[in-house]
Amino acid sequence: MSELKRTLNLFDTIMIVSGSMIGSGIFIVSADMIRILGSPFWVLICWVISGVITLFAALSYGELAGMMPNAGGQFIYIKRAYGKLSSFVYGWTVFTVIQTGVIAAVAVAFAKFMGVFIPFFDEKNVLLNLSYFSISSTQVLGVASIFFLSYINSLGVNNGKIIQRIFTSTKLVALFGLICIGFFVGYKTGYWQSNIELPFRNSSSPSQAFNTSALLSALGIALVGSLFSSDAWNNVTFIAGEIKQPQKNIPLGLLIGVLIVSVLYILANVAYFMLLPALGNPNGLNVIEKGIEFAQNDRVGSACMFPVFGGLSEYLMALLIVISTFGCNNGLILSGARLFQSMANENLFFSSAAILNKHHVPSKALWLQAIWASVLCLSGSYGSLLDYCTFASLIFYIITISALFYLRKNEPHTPRPYKAFGYPIIPALYILMAGAICIDLLIFKPKNTFLGLGIMCVGVPVYYFFNKKKNV
């Protein structure tokens, strides 16, 4: 059997981190966040919190990546600390929903915005309509994009690397350009001053800035959008087996990639609030009257660019999102297959997923991932599944960072080329902050969070079922 080749450098590592993080979320979720909070100030606070939380996690993951510079990343870290059952439950959740669900959602977002240029790809264009099941042209294009990227990546990691470099560099430059335009044009509008002074909409009285309990619950709910937009940063750890000098490049790549994206996200939202009024009327006749709150189809990016580019804004933003989602999915597809390969090497996944092809790529793991992501894509259930697993994702981040404390105590002499910055304070702060968000979601979004927890728990009997079959 051939081995994984270490061909990815620090620049590639940064491109995978930042490219996997930036999809369509930054251009859309702020509309829902402003509807929840009513205050641009608190929306910006959400993006800052998401950036800080993600950075804290990245700084902590760097130590684990340096200790275990092998393919599989988070799966390997959890297994080392807590054993096969915990790592399988993580891998099960990633395969069933987290990784494949995100791939499906990003693929459909790509297809939707392609519809701006090719009207055939419209959600309303139903190609197959049965009693309880229908398939639209956007879903078909989404599946086609998944299979195309899986095929490209099956031909060698260099192909995926080239796509990642081109598309991630392009969208980083484009997002920076959007921010610059927003600042240049926006400072003349006067919207920033009026927006930033808007109070939290659940204020109990004009004299009271906000109701603390209501604010905290709303922040927890609104954070789902910004955290989802900031997720997938850890995907680079899955592909550690193909990164040069992983002990150095993974921690550094995590730090730089997360910092770049977090800063751009905050600045992008500042630009939004400089260009358009935050609050609006759902029946407004134009983008100004609708505001960010009721931007058409929640396309905040397009709405904010309208005052600058007029009718061209829809096409420009659609092009940016097409580039962004395509590059995002390439990073997700490239890295996700390595996790499932690692699971197969531990006899916790289909054995064929461990096999490398002549290009030193786990091609069967790639195709298994593509097939299930396509099923989710065609089912139309990926959106709900993602909501269910936001809670689950946070739980696994908490478990993984807890492993840092566990391994420090139980493996004190294991070489650590990089030690977590700010240990034990920063890892502990992450656990407290992520834990608080989980509690908030359990209280105020119980349906989705408990369903997410249920998907995780199903992994336990599946684990014992597979082990029983192996022992027969």
Residues in CB range of 350: below 8 A, 6 or more apart: 344, 364, 368
Nearest to 81 by CA among 394, 308, 407, 456: 407
Nearest to 51 by CA among 260, 311, 247, 341: 260
Distance (Å, whole) CA 90 – CA 344:
14
pLDDT band, very low/low/confident/very high, at 207 (cuts 50, 70, 90): very low
pLDDT tens for 106-165 read 898 899 889 889 989 887 888 888 777 788 899 999 999 999 999 999 998 888 889 988
Give the amino acid at 248.
K
The CATH T-level fold of domain 10-387 is Amino acid/polyamine transporter I (1.20.1740)
Distance (Å, whole) CA 9 – CA 327:
18
pLDDT tens for 18-37 read 988 888 788 888 998 999 88
Please tell me the predicted confidence (pLDDT) of residue 314. 82
Residue 13 DSSP class: H
Average pLDDT in the 336-363 region? 87
Please tell me the predicted confidence (pLDDT) of residue 1. 45
Average pLDDT in the 182-203 region? 82
Instruction: Identify whether the C-beta of residue 339 lies closer than 8 Å to the C-beta of residue 91.
Output: yes
pLDDT tens for 367-419 read 999 999 999 888 876 666 666 777 888 899 999 999 999 999 999 988 888 88
Least confident of 89-98, 214-223, 254-263, 454-463: 214-223
Q: What is the DSSP string of 55-104?
A: HHHHHHHHHHHHH--STTTHHHHHHHHH-HHHHHHHHHHIIIIIHHHHHH
Half-sphere exposure of 10 (CA within 13 A, CB side): 9
Average pLDDT in the 242-268 region? 91
Please tell me the predicted confidence (pLDDT) of residue 71. 67
pLDDT tens for 215-246 read 888 888 888 888 888 878 888 888 888 888 88
Q: What is the pTM of this model?
A: 0.87
Average pLDDT in the 336-358 region? 87
pLDDT tens for 315-341 read 888 898 899 889 889 989 988 888 898
Q: Answer whether residue 310 shows pLDDT above 70.
A: yes
Distance (Å, whole) CA 49 – CA 197:
20
Average pLDDT in the 76-99 region? 91
Q: What is the mean pLDDT of the chain?
A: 86
